[in-house]
Amino acid sequence: MNTILTLLLFILVLGITVFVHELGHFLFAKIVGVHVYEFSLGFGPVVFKHIAKDKTQYSIRCFPLGGFVSLAGEEQDVDLTKHKGHNLQDKNVFQRFLVMVMGVGFNFIFAFLMLVMIGSFYTARDLTPVLNEVNYNSPAAKAGLEKGDKVLEINNHKIKYFDDIFVYLTIEDLSKPVSFKVEKQDKSIVTYIINPEKIKQDDGKELFADLMEDENKEIKKEEHKQEKVEEDRKEVRHYQYDTIKACIENDIPVYLAGEAGTGKNFTLEQISWELGLEFYFTNSVQQEYKLTGFIDAGGTYHETEFYKAFKNGGIFFLDEMDASIPEVLVLLNAAIANKYFEFPNGKIKAHENFRVVAAGNTVGSGADEMYTGRMVLDQATLDRFAIIEFGYDRNIELSISNNNEDLVDFIRDLRTEANNNGIRATFSYRCIMMVTKLETTNIPLKQIMADRKSTRLNSSHEWISRMPSSA
Q: What is the pLDDT along the chain (471 residues), one digit of tens a residue?
A: 567 777 788 878 887 888 888 888 888 888 888 888 888 888 888 888 888 888 888 888 887 777 888 888 777 656 666 777 788 777 888 888 888 888 888 888 888 888 877 766 555 445 678 887 777 667 788 788 888 889 898 888 888 877 777 777 766 666 778 888 999 888 899 898 888 766 555 555 544 455 555 444 444 444 444 454 445 445 678 889 999 999 999 999 999 988 777 888 888 988 998 899 999 998 888 888 889 999 988 889 999 999 999 999 999 999 888 888 888 888 888 888 889 999 999 999 999 999 999 988 777 665 555 555 566 777 777 788 888 988 888 888 887 777 888 888 888 888 787 777 767 667 777 777 777 776 665 555 555 554 444 444 444 444 333 333 333
CA distance 385 to 354: 15
CA distance 340 to 209: 55
Strand partners, 257: 360, 389
CA distance 235 to 161: 53
Strand partners, 358: 255, 318
Radius of gyration of the chain (CA): 40
Structural domain spans, the chain: 2-126, 139-208, 235-389, 394-465
State the pLDDT at residue 399. Answer: 78
> Would you state the CATH architecture of domain 235-389?
3-Layer(aba) Sandwich (3.40)
Q: Let me know the angle formed at the C-alpha of 252 by 249 and 254, rounded to the nearest 5 degrees.
A: 105
Asked if 162 contacts 212 with a C-beta cutoff of 8 angstroms, the reply is no
Asked if 254 contacts 244 with a C-beta cutoff of 8 angstroms, the reply is yes
**Torsion of Cα atoms, 77 then 78 then 83 then 87, to 10°:** -40
CA distance 34 to 88: 6
CB burial class (10 A; 0-12, 13-18, 19+) of residue 211? buried
DSSP conformation class of 89: G
Strand partners, 314: 354
The gap between the terminal CA atoms of the chain, to the nearest Å, is: 64
State the pLDDT at residue 174. Answer: 64
Strand partners, 194: 178
CA distance 71 to 93: 16
**Selection from 189, 367, 186, 359 nearest residue 268 by Cα:** 359
- Distance set, CA 392 to CA 415, 421, 443 (Å): 10, 19, 27
State the pLDDT at residue 444. Answer: 56
CA distance 54 to 41: 19
Q: With residue 247 as reference, give the H or E element that holds it.
A: helix 241-249
- Residue 394's SS3 state is helix
CA distance 214 to 197: 10
State the pLDDT at residue 80. Answer: 65
- Residue 178's SS3 state is strand
Query: Tell me, which fold does domain 139-208 have in CATH?
Result: Pdz3 Domain (2.30.42)
Asked if 411 contacts 432 with a C-beta cutoff of 8 angstroms, the reply is yes
CA distance 33 to 72: 10
**139-208 against 235-389: fold identical:** no
* Count helices and strands in the chain by DSSP H and E runs: 16, 17
